[in-house]
A and B are shown apart, each in its own frame.
Chain A
């Protein structure tokens, strides 16, 4: 009887040993296992509304946008739910926090700078040209025809006053690409736009000659208000590209990089340019034409 019991015990243990590795295979990537055990993907988003990339649907608390959809798609492939965290106070802080493992990924049109590479690990998914929306009178004051090949250098060396979101990649890029420029930081993009277009000396602080961001943020301003084209002109830098990236922590880079990379290639459609995005979301950018 004892012998029979021992045989049964041995065969049960053998069966368990043979079956157990099948379940453990998911745990070979401990980072993904952690997410799966948690049951949701933690995604850090900037605390702003940047349609059509990420924004709260007006009148509800539903997050919408292509960045949000991309994150949801990743969560779906991981077989987990999703949780967004919008408590970061700036873009730079968001990147620092993902580097510190506060989230699994950080997404939200995050640009690539040297400083951010100190904090986290990027995977590029968008390729947007840098762009200015400049006051035409400032452009004319440079005294050189915009079609002239020297125009770009003269603009970059000018004492242009550039406005954009403070503590963003645009502050860093402004200092790098326009060494003589004066950067004026604003709380958010709307404040920067207002300072250029609806300048009010009492509330807007110093005057600015241009606002700086990527082409998908600059072009919609004139699409939305075509009459602005008379006074302001989009300046698109074909040779200064903002490599918008999803950021991961060091552990995330080891555990999730290939997964995200594979998803971007197969489901997202590779790295998209600003023109791709403007075309894909034409109904948003040019509602009257769609």
Chain B
């Protein structure tokens, strides 16, 4: 009996093998990504607020309908990492830190340099720490300047200062002390500006070695209590457009050696004011290839509403200082960015922590991206 069964099983196997036509798979194959990334690819930062040491960045094709289409790869970003990407070379920079025993033990702070094609770490710059500012909203706390030769990092201990890294030498070359200021807004040929706690700004120009060559301060120019500027601007042709809590936008020219506040104008019409529309969100401003300003807005705003989800994104012509479109969102969103190229798309993180894609010109909703093992995909970075 046993022999008969064995013969039957063997014969079945032979039959299956004979009918199979799949070729033998190649072992050890690993995907790589095309360079440059297509315009419709973005990088999404999952800050993993409930398991921060496992934060990560995900490369996404926003046209994909299912996970095998939209998920292109990922790389690590531990403990509320900060992210910058070069446009002139296929490098990405992740400012992060790790403990050697999970949430305790020795801590290593570093900038990890990733290759955009392989998503492999190709180098790292180990930092003395702990110094770096850890925060959820992490754009403009790491910035590239001087044709991407220098990488600047914002530190908070709670003293405030900026680390200067020479990316050619792959080493720290300077620390620039700030008088209680925050943010790194690239300024002029080889410099940066920060907003200070008394509503002023300070600017620096560096020499070719990363040392301070020139320093400038401007007097306080806004009211932090009544109408604070968000530290989350859109930069268009070297001019920062900083939305304010009460619904204005402050232009700050960053083209010269030092920051120069320009015109301040309202995002709101009379009816908007009566309904208390306000800018808000974790990341609330962006621009597109046509240099329009996009600001995420919510209704019934007031004191404390500045991180509220936005129900609409408003589009402004900065030359005429006029609204040219308002885009209702299918679900309120907390952050967004806009892809490059002639057909820009809005990619927004909605309140359910999924991603929504809209055509930026028409405002039409074109895709929803969800179910990709994520928890807090807070910030979106369009390809440069």
Bound pair (A, B): no
Name A residues whose Cβ lies closer than 8 Å to a Cβ of B: none
Name B residues whose Cβ lies closer than 8 Å to a Cβ of A: none
